[in-house]
Amino acid sequence: MKEYTLRVREGLAYMPYAPVLFISALSGQRVENLYELVVKVYEQNHRRIPTGQLNSILAEATARVQPPTDKGRRLKIYYMTQASTAPPTFVCFCNDARLFHFSYQRYLENQLREVYGLEGTPVRMVIRQRGDK
């Protein structure tokens, strides 16, 4: 199972959040686990996180790892809010969207996953700079 899990993880490296579950089509072994997992993923996919909690996570994350700079300009993230569910979509409002490097975006996504789980569901991040419509 470990070997096949590694193969699946390598083949689906762009989906590290996806759970891997082994079932038997012949005997039906562990099929009940599949139904439990489907319910869990559905709940995570439709989860709503209040803006206050998101901003607390954002403050802790930015205190731990400073936002990136470019030519003396530092990225300032004003706040984050959840725009929708299925999949969970978060909007970050900042001073300059060009300073928001994808690696820092991934870092914030990982912080959200660490605190709230969000197992089995993709997380979308939309970056908006002040003044954008």
- Confidence (pLDDT) at 132: 67
- The per-residue pLDDT for range 51-104, each reduced to its tens digit, is 999 999 999 999 999 998 888 888 999 999 999 999 999 999 999 898 999 999
- Confidence (pLDDT) at 91: 95
Neighbours of 99 (CB within 10 A): 20
- The per-residue pLDDT for range 2-31, each reduced to its tens digit, is 999 999 999 988 888 888 899 988 898 989
- The three-point CA angle 109-119-42 to 5° equals 120
Query: For the whole model, what pTM was predicted?
Result: 0.82
- Confidence (pLDDT) at 68: 87
Top CATH class of 1-133 equals alpha beta
